[in-house]
A and B are shown apart, each in its own frame.
Chain A
Amino acid sequence: MIFLKNTLLFLGGVILGAALLATGLYYFPFPHAARTERILPAFEASAKAPEIFRYMLSDQTDGDVISLVTSGAPAIFPMMPATDRVLSEPNVKDGLALINKMRDDGGNIVAIATELESGHEGSRLIKGKVMTHTTWTVIAPGRGALFLYQEEDNWTLFKRFVLPGLLFNKSWQGSWKNLNTLGPRPDGYGQVIGGTGEFAGKRGHFIEFAELRDFSPGKQLAGTMELRVVFDE
């Protein structure tokens, strides 16, 4: 009887401890999670005329995403279009590959692009980091190709939208704006790696900025994503 009581107390302690830890993580104000308010104004103040590449996220036909492939597990982001040719092998199972159209600041479709994401070694739930290494390759007919690299953190997206979706099948609608970029530059920006054509020899920095308007498990995200690119003079 004493053994049973102690066991129950132990299990209760473990569960309570885990719950407290999860609650603490959820509410802890990790400094990087406030970067939208901190870094975005600095970027906007310093970037006089950034080059804008924008695409619309939607599960309707007005979206600009052509293809989205992950490992398929967890199935929080459905493949687009549905496919069984997924990134399932051990070395790529944390990957994401996106093909999309890109618009300029006026909403005109001007380019095609791919985004490749892979898991980042700096991801730690205990540190509030859900990170990826991310490439953007934008190719604009008549202009050339642009190669971009950034580190992303999706901690807030994960805890506010993905986790509730996974655990409770919870949907959300509203307006949530977020700076996805978290480096690798010390100022928090991503890097312009290089380019071709008009972009040949260019260096500079960029951010990926998102406005999420609808998150529903099993459906595509709805909202807007922007790459704001600043070239060195």
Chain B
Amino acid sequence: MQTAKSWVVAVGLAALVLPVGAIAQANNIPAYSQPAPGEKVLSFFGILPDHGVALTTGGKMPLRTGPEGIALFTEPALNNTLALIMKLADENGNVVGFASELEIFPGDPAAAEISWDTAWTLSIPGRGMIFLHQIEHSGGLGPNIVDPTMKSGKNWVGDWTVTTTVGPLPSGRGRIVGGSGEFANIKGSFVEIDRLTGFTVDGVMFGKLEIRLFLE
């Protein structure tokens, strides 16, 4: 049970990705996270830890992978990468699809001020697929929540929200690359917003991840 919980946490951590010595703010949500006048918003959510399906890394990151027994990307070419599968819900919490997140880290993801490329692929059965690219940072998750929780031995409860997206668009948003089906002609931008409301000493993360699309 402990192991199962731990890897589920890692799924959450994968979305937020681990420690960065960046300056943390309780609600680090830049203005570009909100729609501009005339923009239509379409959001998908991942409830943590319930919607985590699978997570693996190159083994360098301090993340518990899962399900138990999942292989790591141990080859030299892949040992600084991450792959995540999670379910997606609508705003009411109903599962409407599933998604993959693939990340390449340019260096030690625990290092300060690092940012990295992330590819999100959303599959919304009955509607279509959406392909996304963003540059991400963690916004200080590690030094502000994970590390103090582990050192203090006390569960963390709070409300910590961060927009992890910092590019590649000049506005700071991520880019909608394309889609299929209902989304075949999709154009616009997006942000990933992660809200953490709990983190336990045994490594269970509670919260919600939002993929917020701004449609042109």
Contacts and interface: CB of A to CB of B under 8 A. Distances in A.
Interface of A: 66-67, 69, 79, 81-83, 85-87, 89, 91-92, 94-95, 97, 99, 101, 108-114, 116-119, 121, 133, 135, 137, 139, 141-142, 144-145, 147, 149, 184, 191, 193-197
Contacts of A142: 77
Interface string B67-92: 11111010101101101010100000
A121 B117 CA distance: 33
Residue with the greatest number of chain A CB neighbours at <10 A, chosen from B97, B102, B121, B126: B121
A110 B119 CA distance: 17
B192 to A, nearest CB: 16
B102 A116 contact: no
Contacts of B53: 69, 83, 85-87, 97
Contacts of B170: none
A54 to B, nearest CB: 14
Given A85-B67, A91-B97, A95-B98, A141 B129 contact: no
B190 to A, nearest CB: 14
Contacts of B104: 139, 141
Nearest to A108: B77
11 contacts: A79-B67, A81-B68, A91-B125, A92-B98, A101-B73, A109-B77, A116-B123, A133-B128, A137-B131, A139-B81, A147-B131
B102 A139 contact: yes
Contact of B75 (A109, A147, A193): A109
The 10 closest A-B pairs by CB, nearest first: A114-B100, A81-B69, A83-B67, A89-B95, A118-B125, A193-B178, A147-B131, A67-B54, A194-B177, A145-B119
Contact of A66 (B56, B87, B131): B56
Interface of B, secondary structure class, is strand
B118 to A, nearest CB: 9
B96 interface: yes
Contacts of A110: 77
A144 to B, nearest CB: 8
Interface residues of B, number: 45
Interface of A, secondary structure class, is strand
Contacts of A135: 121, 123, 129, 131, 180
Interface of B: 52-54, 56, 66-71, 73, 75, 77-78, 80-81, 83, 85, 87, 94-100, 102-104, 117, 119, 121, 123, 125-126, 128-129, 131, 133, 168, 177-181
B123 A133 contact: yes
Nearest to A149: B180
Nearest to A91: B96
Contact of A87 (B98, B102, B133): B98
Contacts of A85: 52-54, 67
Given A133-B128, A133-B129, A147-B119, A101 B75 contact: yes
Contacts of B125: 91-92, 94-95, 118-119, 133
